[in-house]
């Protein structure tokens, strides 16, 4: 495979965490995969020679604009074109979320893309508002377009997965390494000239390492050091990338006791670390601090700010001070430095570059196409690409303000929202049904946002009148919950009560009886447990590996797609897989769904209305007309009989165009329902009075539990764009 690496200043011996990372990682990657070629794109300003090589890597130095805002992006843009048209690279490995802005271009040019996420650059203080917004878009490009995302710190990986659950399967944590300093032979390098050059004495100075940028917090360290009046010197190793005010102010503090060494070569840094009495890292923002790992390996006591990536190194509480707390830092550097000793063996064992390279190579391997599985894989990819494009679309709609400008045409009279599960967040890699699940906190957020945006939350019964009467200034919102899950009672109902919000629960009567099959949940649980998924399809046998999360998603899509196309065969396949995996279908139904008693109690609450969702939750369009008529009419009469009140509304199971059509709309009308809901997304307009048995709903999708997506959905703009301005999208 031809690999091109982008986003760093250059290597070897170029200052910076990303640069050290690449300098250590890629020679090892070359060793592991000698047949692959690795080309590193460097920047002219740091490596003036155009072509060189280093430990089997080819290094190409490309031009770029100057200045902190444009340097990275112009160099990366050059690099992407070079990679595609000169190098014919198959894989682009981008470092950092700034360079990841070019990920969509790389994908469009047909290359595979890996992004290593080193830190939340948009929190860096050196950037202004615009640069921060652009970097946030870079983060969005990372999760949307990269085939794989590698994150160097565990807490950053967890946060990324939580914020972008739809991308979680592609995000992996692989730390930085620390073992590169061990390779040097310490005893041969006792060069006291180095200390003399900076006027230092053994164990008589404090050291800190990093670029002279605000987020490294060196200003705090200088202030604390000056206030401490101790018999040590302070050495800050590192240079400024760009001559700016911050760096100038910092360098202005240089004195006999505060020394700025500028950038130094690796061996000089090691010598300086080795004789230091204490290493301090006062930073406000890190990915995974290589400088601290280097200090630990050099056996220097370590003191660092208590930001999460620093705490992730797992040192004793003694080794940390509150970030930005100059007084605590002053107090701590006045103590005996020996007390800040760290467990070097733990660091060496945990942060081994060989392990980092092996893990990274595994990720490369998953990108090599396996022709035998191309079909299901492309299926899984297109699914997730759809979600990725949605997310990017929501981001773009709110970022451009389209939700504000267009909502008056797109919002209609209001919106009917569709919910399924409401329950606390659970971290799971393989959760294909996550779309159906939101947290109680997000439900609370939805209700708050509705109020903030001026929506009236009304009962479903009031919709027809709202459409008939003169438009009011305030749009309406209706809350509907499908299937009859117990978590609606446990987690949704308290939140809804707090907001005095009326809601409708659409129940499937078989589920209330503890019969019925939640086959999509059976399938998820079965595939989660199985290593191989074998089922028959159209007379042949399909045999899929199901070990990794990606494979499991592909297998799920394959069985799910088959079931939607041929329900009888598919249901049998799910039943067989569930039996193989030891999943008991009835247990899922009784565990997840409400029983009759509970629904009877809910039905008595004034804010709750119960609607029908058929007897057995079939894909109606695939059933005989007599079955459809029975499913629609008998669920209504059964509910009315058992609950002792009229049931006026119906939600069709699945509700998309392949599951429900004109025949079902007619039967629902004939059965006496006032309205019936589909799940094709859209807002509600007066035109829908002629289509009351096909009212669109907007699903509160568990993959997009954030305010941006919510604002876009409530504006109606995504559906308006998708339907190219048409309001009623069903066929007559």
Residues lying near Zn ion in the complex (CB under 5 A):
482-483, 653
Min separation Cβ 482 and Zn ion, Å: 4
Of 173 and 519, which CB lies nearer to Zn ion in the complex structure?
Answer: 519
Of 227 and 638, which CB lies nearer to Zn ion in the complex structure?
Answer: 638
Is 141 exposed, middle or buried, given 0-12, 13-18 or 19+ CB atoms closer than 10 A?
A: buried
Of 222 and 628, which CB lies nearer to Zn ion in the complex structure?
Answer: 628
Q: Which two tokens stand for residue 607?
A: 């804010």
Smallest Cα–Cα separation from 223: which of 338, 337, 331, 341? Answer: 331
Of 215 and 482, which CB lies nearer to Zn ion in the complex structure?
Answer: 482
Residues 191 and 195: their CA atoms lie apart, in Å, by 8
Min separation Cβ 679 and Zn ion, Å: 9
Contacts of 486 (CB under 8 A, 6+ apart): 591, 592, 593, 594, 598
Min separation Cβ 418 and Zn ion, Å: 9
Of 19 and 482, which CB lies nearer to Zn ion in the complex structure?
Answer: 482
Cα angle 347, 287, 31; round to 5: 60
Min separation Cβ 483 and Zn ion, Å: 4
Min separation Cβ 673 and Zn ion, Å: 16
Residues 188 and 464: their CA atoms lie apart, in Å, by 86
Residues 569 and 563: their CA atoms lie apart, in Å, by 7
Question: Of all helices (H) and strands (E), which one includes residue 506?
Answer: strand 503-507
Cα angle 320, 321, 325; round to 5: 165
Of 395 and 653, which CB lies nearer to Zn ion in the complex structure?
Answer: 653
Q: Are strands 608-612 and 540-545 parallel, antiparallel or unpaired?
A: unpaired
Min separation Cβ 502 and Zn ion, Å: 20
Min separation Cβ 654 and Zn ion, Å: 7
Smallest Cα–Cα separation from 41: which of 61, 21, 27? Answer: 61
Of 286 and 483, which CB lies nearer to Zn ion in the complex structure?
Answer: 483
DSSP string of 648-667, one letter each residue: -EEE-SS-STTT--HHHHHH
The answer to whether 117 touches 152, Cβ cutoff 8 Å, is yes
Residues 139 and 160: their CA atoms lie apart, in Å, by 9
Of 124 and 564, which CB lies nearer to Zn ion in the complex structure?
Answer: 564
Rg (CA), the chain: 30
Of 270 and 510, which CB lies nearer to Zn ion in the complex structure?
Answer: 510
The answer to whether 6 touches 89, Cβ cutoff 8 Å, is no
Min separation Cβ 665 and Zn ion, Å: 17
Q: Residues 42, 44, 49, 51: is their CA dihedral positive or negative?
A: positive
Min separation Cβ 613 and Zn ion, Å: 6
Of 258 and 660, which CB lies nearer to Zn ion in the complex structure?
Answer: 660
Smallest Cα–Cα separation from 101: which of 18, 165, 6, 174? Answer: 6
- Cα atoms in the Cβ-side hemisphere of radius 13 Å centred on 213: 16
Min separation Cβ 160 and Zn ion, Å: 31
Of 282 and 653, which CB lies nearer to Zn ion in the complex structure?
Answer: 653
Min separation Cβ 694 and Zn ion, Å: 16
Of 139 and 483, which CB lies nearer to Zn ion in the complex structure?
Answer: 483
Residues 417 and 415: their CA atoms lie apart, in Å, by 6
Smallest Cα–Cα separation from 686: which of 527, 481, 470? Answer: 470
Please state the separation of Cα 45 from the chain's center in Å. 34
Min separation Cβ 652 and Zn ion, Å: 9
Helical residues (DSSP H) of 492-533, grouped into ranges = 493-498, 509-512, 519-529
Of 27 and 653, which CB lies nearer to Zn ion in the complex structure?
Answer: 653
The answer to whether 78 touches 63, Cβ cutoff 8 Å, is yes
Of 483 and 522, which CB lies nearer to Zn ion in the complex structure?
Answer: 483
Q: Are strands 278-281 and 456-457 parallel, antiparallel or unpaired?
A: unpaired
Min separation Cβ 595 and Zn ion, Å: 17
Which residues in 72-94 are b (16+ Cβ under 10 Å) and which e? bbbbbbbbbbbbbeebebbbbbb
Min separation Cβ 653 and Zn ion, Å: 5
Residues 691 and 620: their CA atoms lie apart, in Å, by 19
Of 483 and 487, which CB lies nearer to Zn ion in the complex structure?
Answer: 483
Min separation Cβ 305 and Zn ion, Å: 50
Residues 561 and 565: their CA atoms lie apart, in Å, by 6
């Amino acid at each position: 495979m031809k690999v091109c690496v982008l986003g760093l200043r250059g290597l070897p011996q170029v200052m910076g965490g990303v640069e050290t990372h690449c300098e250590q990682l890629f020679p090892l990657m070359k060793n592991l995969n000698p047949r692959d070629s690795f080309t590193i794109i460097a920047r002219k300003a740091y490596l003036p020679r155009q072509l060189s090589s280093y430990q089997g890597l080819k290094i190409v130095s490309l031009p770029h604009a100057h200045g902190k805002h444009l340097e990275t992006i112009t160099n990366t843009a050059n690099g992407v074109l070079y990679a595609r048209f000169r190098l014919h690279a198959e894989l682009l490995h981008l470092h950092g979320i700034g360079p990841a802005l070019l990920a969509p271009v790389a994908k469009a040019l047909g290359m595979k893309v890996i992004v290593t996420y080193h830190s939340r650059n948009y929190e860096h203080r050196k950037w202004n508002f615009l640069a921060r917004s652009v970097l946030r878009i870079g983060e969005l490009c990372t999760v949307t377009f990269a085939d794989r995302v590698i994150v160097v710190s565990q807490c950053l990986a967890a946060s990324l997965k939580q914020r972008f659950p739809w991308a979680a399967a592609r995000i992996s944590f692989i730390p930085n390494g620390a073992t590169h300093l061990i390779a040097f032979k310490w005893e041969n390098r006792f060069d006291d000239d180095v200390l003399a050059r900076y006027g230092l004495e053994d164990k008589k100075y404090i050291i800190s390492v990093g670029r002279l940028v605000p987020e490294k917090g060196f200003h705090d360290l200088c202030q604390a050091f000056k206030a401490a009046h101790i018999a040590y010197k302070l050495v800050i190793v590192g240079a400024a990338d760009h001559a700016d005010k911050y760096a100038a102010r910092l360098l202005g503090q240089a004195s006999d006791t505060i020394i700025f060494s500028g950038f130094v070569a690796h061996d000089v840094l090691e010598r300086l670390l080795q004789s230091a009495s204490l290493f301090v890292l006062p930073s406000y923002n890190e990915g995974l601090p290589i400088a601290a790992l280097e200090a630990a390996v050099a056996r220097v006591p370590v003191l660092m700010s208590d930001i999460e990536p620093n705490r992730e190194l797992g040192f004793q509480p003694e080794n940390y001070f509150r970030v930005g707390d100059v007084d605590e830092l002053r107090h701590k550097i006045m103590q005996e430095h020996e007390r800040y000793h760290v467990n070097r063996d733990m660091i060496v064992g945990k942060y081994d570059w060989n392990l980092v390279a092996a893990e990274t190579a595994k990720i490369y391997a998953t990108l090599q196409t396996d022709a035998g599985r191309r079909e299901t894989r492309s299926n899984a990819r297109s699914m997730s690409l759809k979600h990725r494009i949605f997310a990017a679309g929501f981001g773009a709609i709110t970022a451009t303000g389209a939700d504000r400008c267009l909502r008056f045409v797109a919002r209609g009279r209001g919106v009917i929202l569709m919910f399924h599960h409401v329950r606390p967040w659970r971290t799971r890699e393989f959760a294909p049904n996550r779309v159906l699940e939101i947290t109680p906190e997000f439900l609370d957020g939805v209700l708050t946002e509705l109020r903030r945006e001026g929506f009236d939350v009304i009962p479903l019964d009031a919709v027809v009148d709202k459409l008939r009467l003169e438009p009011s200034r305030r749009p309406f919102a209706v809350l509907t919950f499908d299937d009859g899950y117990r978590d609606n009672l446990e987690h949704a109902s308290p939140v809804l009560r707090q907001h005095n919000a009326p809601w409708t629960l659409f129940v499937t009567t078989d589920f209330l009886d503890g019969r019925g099959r939640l086959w999509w949940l059976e399938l998820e649980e079965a595939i989660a447990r199985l290593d191989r998924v074998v089922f028959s399809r159209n007379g042949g046998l399909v045999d899929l590996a199901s070990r990794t999360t990606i494979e499991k998603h592909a297998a799920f899509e394959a069985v799910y797609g088959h079931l939607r196309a041929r329900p009888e065969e598919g249901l049998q396949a799910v039943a067989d897989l569930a039996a193989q995996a030891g999943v008991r279908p009835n247990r899922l139904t009784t565990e997840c769904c409400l029983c009759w008693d509970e629904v009877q109690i809910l039905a008595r609450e004034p804010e709750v209305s119960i609607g029908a969702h058929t007897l057995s939750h079939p894909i109606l369009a695939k059933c005989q007309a007599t079955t459809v008529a029975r499913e629609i009419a008998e669920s209504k009469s059964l509910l009315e009989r058992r609950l002792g009140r009229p049931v006026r509304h119906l939600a069709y199971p699945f509700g998309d165009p392949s599951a429900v059509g004109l025949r079902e709309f007619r039967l629902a009308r004939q059965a006496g329902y006032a309205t019936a809901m589909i799940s094709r997304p859209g807002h509600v307009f007066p035109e829908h009075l002629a289509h009351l048995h096909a009212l669109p709903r907007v699903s509160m999708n568990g993959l997009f539990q954030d305010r941006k997506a919510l604002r876009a959905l409530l504006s109606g703009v995504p559906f308006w764009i998708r339907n190219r301005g048409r309001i009623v999208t069903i066929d007559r």
